[in-house]
Chains A and B, each alone.
Chain A
């Protein structure tokens, strides 16, 4: 494949324009509604949003923080988007991230003397394996017992997080710490900084690369084709010889693996240790982002960045204007709702 063909395929991903338009409209409406709330509380929404923007992109430091925050969103959002393509609702990212971080921590603590270029890579692979296994487990329960994957992944989230908590009490815990966490990881395991002097680590490159790979897989490989056929028509998929079981298992393992890598990156690049609760909220955010990104890996890019910048700018907004940071959750929630309603409406009108 030539580079040109690759580039074209990354962009060509099918009818993305319309769903992305509804995402943009959804965001606009959400921002508008949130602005009303700000007004209602006696402050100027324009000033608030400007502060938000400044807090997000005002200085290189702020941008670095935003990109770091967006990294796990990119990875998990892409995986969940692929699952959604096959009409599989996977909310298990939180548990998969937790176990991915756990695996990475365990390996890092085991091999403190490994070379600094190799160790992060190995730990990320370990994270991917753990996440893939957890995703695969959910798929197996769903397939063998015909239980809706939402319920299975939801429950496995809790179990995964509790497993991490348990392990932190035991062998991986740091005795004497005021909080359940592992000892500081050997510096050989730390992710190198992308831009020296800032907090930005190389994880964002990995995430963006993963998103592009997902896009290519979805649109350029037989596996991606199978995902799309399965999501579009189960009857046609059977006729085409596509195995629902195989495809479900593979895509859930893929999404789990991506989430596992995200967990490893959080541990190796942000916290430098395993901290209880570090995976909180990612499962649901991944679903939001996949939806807002029109279920396309390429669409996940702006959506994840949007979430990342929102969160990073929120604190600045609160300090400057006094608008509380939870406004960000309001915006995120409203966006999701409007996008969902818009998608449902257009589906009911018989479009894609």
Chain B
């Protein structure tokens, strides 16, 4: 395979792999910009258990509801609650998959994989064609959603309110906003989006559901958000970075690269750490992230 074909194929794969991440990360942005996190981890998992996008959204919202109630209403520690729900979700999905077969064996679920929808005309462009215009439908949806979320955050009053709740909930409260309601809504939206992310995995990539198939992607989405500094555009780059790393490490052999696949996989996390540590510019995490809001 010639180098440029390989590169194109690589980038295409990276975009494809980044898609579920991006859904989860978009959701994570919403809830983290509102100052709550954790929903993204678990919802991602549940979403993959269903045939049907709507079901995955519903499942994601349900899980997020659990997180929202525990953390925003009761003030339980957010990261820890997210972890708990994550553990629960892995177990629950596996359990449901097996619960109805004899002897606890896994049911075989097969769903036709959504194949690529090439955009007529544009799909034949060199390089950009396969990368941008010959992707499965949910990937297009991801891009569209990314734009929508960006507009929402930057250009609408609801988005401004959400960002304020994440930075200074007292200021929001002083103008009549209820930070608790905003955060709950954000966590639920996060669940929905992450649920779609899970659906991407099962409907678009693998065609079935297996135990723990999300394999920690929720946490990767969190890392992507850190790299992207809680902005949709930056997070897209973060997801692509992780997607590229994943795509690259699978192809280390065939591309005969001098670098080990583990080092490649490590790079995005190191980048995230560097971003967090603020080398370059001060890391702009939402100031009230992880801090429960209590009425004085």
Contacts and interface: CB of A to CB of B under 8 A. Distances in A.
A contacts B: CB pair < 8 Å: yes
A89 B88 contact: no
A145 B92 contact: no
A307 to B, nearest CB: 11
A150 to B, nearest CB: 5
A343 B79 CA distance: 15
Interface in B249-269: 260, 262-263, 265-266, 269
Give the dominant DSSP class at B's interface.
Answer: helix
Interface in B14-67: 66
Interface stretch (A10-18, A194-202, A264-272, A331-339): A331-339
A244 interface: no
A340 B81 contact: yes
A332 B277 CA distance: 33
Nearest to A323: B104
B151 interface: no
B86 A348 contact: no
A169 B260 contact: yes
Interface string A32-60: 00000100111000000000000000000
A291 B80 contact: yes
A178 to B, nearest CB: 16
Interface string B80-107: 1101111111111111011110111000
Contacts of A145: 276-278, 283
B75 A330 contact: no
B269 A155 contact: yes
Interface stretch (B118-126, B159-167, B219-227): B219-227
A332 B223 CA distance: 25
A150 B99 contact: no
Given A326-B90, A333-B89, A336-B83, A155 B272 contact: yes
B269 A41 contact: no
Contacts of B97: 324
B95 A151 contact: no
Contacts of A162: 262-263, 265-266, 269
A287 B80 contact: yes
Interface in A278-300: 284, 287-288, 291
Nearest to A150: B79
Interface residues on A, range: 35 or more
A337 B86 CA distance: 10
A304 B284 CA distance: 38
A237 interface: no
B94 A326 contact: yes
Given A89-B77, A89-B79, A324-B99, A148 B84 contact: no
A166 interface: yes
B180 to A, nearest CB: 13
B198 interface: no
B211 interface: yes
B113 to A, nearest CB: 25
A326 B92 contact: yes
Interface string B99-139: 11011100000000000000000000000000000000000
B84 A329 contact: no
B70 interface: yes
Contact of A337 (B85, B103, B270, B276): B85
18 contacts: A145-B276, A147-B285, A148-B289, A148-B290, A152-B273, A162-B263, A166-B266, A170-B260, A324-B94, A326-B92, A329-B87, A329-B92, A333-B92, A336-B83, A337-B85, A340-B84, A341-B70, A348-B75
Given A147-B278, A162-B265, A348-B74, 19 more contacts: A41-B95, A145-B278, A156-B273, A159-B273, A165-B262, A169-B262, A288-B83, A323-B99, A330-B91, A332-B91, A336-B83, A336-B84, A336-B87, A337-B70, A337-B81, A340-B74, A341-B74, A345-B74, A348-B75
**Which 8 A-B pairs rank lowest in CB-CB distance, beginning with the nearest?**
A329-B91, A333-B88, A326-B94, A336-B84, A41-B99, A166-B262, A324-B98, A333-B87
Interface of A: 37, 40-42, 89, 91, 141, 144-145, 147-148, 150-152, 154-156, 158-159, 162-163, 165-166, 169-170, 284, 287-288, 291, 318, 322-334, 336-337, 340-341, 343-345, 347-348
Interface of B: 66, 70, 74-77, 79-81, 83-95, 97-100, 102-104, 211, 219, 222-223, 226, 260, 262-263, 265-266, 269-270, 272-273, 276-278, 283, 285, 289-290
